[in-house]
């Protein structure tokens, strides 16, 4: 009788260990994939606004360093002009790639360094008066005041 009880306890303890390891693995996996999906989500939101010509909405997702480069009204006017007048398009399609976490990164050679930055490749596809063309751009995403924000690369 004692033998069955000890064997039963070992089975229960083993099962609990397996379940515990599985739970820890899932929590770690969820925390990393959650951040990746948040980063990808803000990039998708940005380009959805751009696709709908809601340039005020996309400007709102910029990091403060980008907002220093473009005031809101100038950005709205310039983006609308480039897409509609220069490219001769009403809208575009886009594909957002997988985020890649970077270490230290700078937006420009003279600018500050940022930590915990993600690089996200984006392809915008246009059908316009000059034919069909794609723009490939890496978008950088970093947290500012607890929110993921968009930054472009000006280092080169």
The reported pTM is 0.76
In the chain, where the domains are located: 2-151
Q: What does the pLDDT look like over 54-101, one tens digit per residue?
A: 999 999 999 999 999 999 999 999 998 888 788 888 889 999 999 999
Q: What does the pLDDT look like over 14-69, one tens digit per residue?
A: 766 766 655 555 555 454 558 999 999 999 999 999 999 999 999 999 999 999 99
Cβ pair 81, 75 in contact under 8 A: no
Give the separation between CA 41 and CA 30, rounded to whole angstroms.
Answer: 16
Cβ pair 136, 121 in contact under 8 A: yes
Can you give the pLDDT at residue 64?
Answer: 95
Give the separation between CA 68 and CA 149, rounded to whole angstroms.
Answer: 14
Give the separation between CA 71 and CA 55, rounded to whole angstroms.
Answer: 12
> Beta strand 105-106 with 113-114: parallel, antiparallel or unpaired?
antiparallel
Contacts of 44 (CB under 8 A, 6+ apart): 96
Q: 2-151, what's its fold?
A: Nuclear Transport Factor 2; Chain: A, (3.10.450)
Q: What does the pLDDT look like over 91-118, one tens digit per residue?
A: 899 999 999 999 889 999 888 899 999 9
Can you give the pLDDT at residue 84?
Answer: 78
Angle at 40 between CA 87 and CA 24, to 5 degrees: 170
Can you give the pLDDT at residue 24?
Answer: 55
Cβ pair 106, 114 in contact under 8 A: yes
Give the separation between CA 109 and CA 27, rounded to whole angstroms.
Answer: 38
């Amino acid at each position: 009788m004692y033998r069955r009880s000890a064997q039963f306890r070992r089975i229960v303890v083993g099962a609990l260990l397996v379940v515990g390891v599985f739970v820890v693995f899932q929590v770690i996996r969820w925390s990393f994939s959650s951040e990746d999906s948040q980063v990808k989500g803000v990039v998708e939101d940005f380009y959805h606004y751009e696709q709908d010509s809601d340039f005020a909405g996309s400007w709102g997702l910029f990091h403060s360093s980008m907002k220093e480069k473009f005031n809101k009204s100038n950005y709205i006017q310039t983006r609308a002009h480039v897409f509609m007048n220069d490219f001769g398009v009403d809208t575009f399609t886009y594909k957002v790639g997988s985020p890649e976490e970077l270490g230290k990164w700078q937006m420009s050679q003279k600018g500050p360094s940022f930590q915990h930055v993600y690089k996200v490749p984006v392809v915008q596809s246009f059908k316009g008066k000059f034919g069909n063309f794609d723009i490939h751009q890496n978008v950088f995403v970093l947290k500012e005041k607890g929110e993921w924000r968009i930054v472009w690369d000006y280092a080169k």
